[in-house]
Amino acid sequence: MIDCCRRRLLCGLLGLSVTVCAGCGGVKYEPVQGVITFNGKPLDNSQVQFLPDPQEKSKGPRSTGVSDKEGRFKLVAEDGQPGAVVGKHRVLVQDLNQWEGIRPGREDSNKPLKPSRIPMKYTDVVQTPLKVEVKPGGGSIELKLTSP
């Protein structure tokens, strides 16, 4: 009976320590905001995605944000944490204006997308020239997109 109680106590403490340690050794987030421009002008209504780069040993969920009329954006990670994971990222940009007037699940969802304002290289994880590092303390990042 005593061995059974000790075993339960030991298993409970071990489970608690694993849970506590998982929080200690997990990914670290930092607040990230920025401005995105295209050919020197603010780029509005665009989704910015920061993807941790596994080739650079960065791990964790991606973070996204949407730019406003001045091209400003703030990132939020997939798990709801504000900011982005500390480390190196590849950055993708998607023109949300392409879907203007199209609603998923409706008869108009079969309409063709509008032409993107953004060159394809910025939408492809392999081709994107946008690579940034999120450092401890976070900060502001400027993304400058240009025509081909």
- 119/121 Cα distance (integer angstroms): 6
Q: Output the pLDDT for position 105.
A: 65
Identify the H or E element spanning 132: strand 131-134
- 46/1 Cα distance (integer angstroms): 64
Q: Output the pLDDT for position 109.
A: 59
Domain chopping of the chain, boundaries: 27-145
Q: Please give the average per-residue pLDDT across 18-39, as a whole number.
A: 74
**Arithmetic mean of pLDDT over the chain:** 82
Contacts of 68 (CB under 8 A, 6+ apart): 44
**What secondary structure letter does DSSP report for 87?**
E
At 110, the pLDDT band (50, 70, 90 cuts) reads low
Conformation bin of residue 41: beta by default, left when phi > 0, alpha when psi is -120 to 50: beta
Provide the β-strand partners of residue 30.
Answer: 84
* Tens of pLDDT, residues 114-139: 888 999 999 999 999 999 999 999 88
Range from 7-21, 41-55, 134-148 carrying the lowest mean pLDDT: 7-21
CATH ID of 27-145, from 3.20.20.100, 2.60.40.10, 3.20.190.10, 3.40.50.10420: 2.60.40.10
At 35, the pLDDT band (50, 70, 90 cuts) reads very high
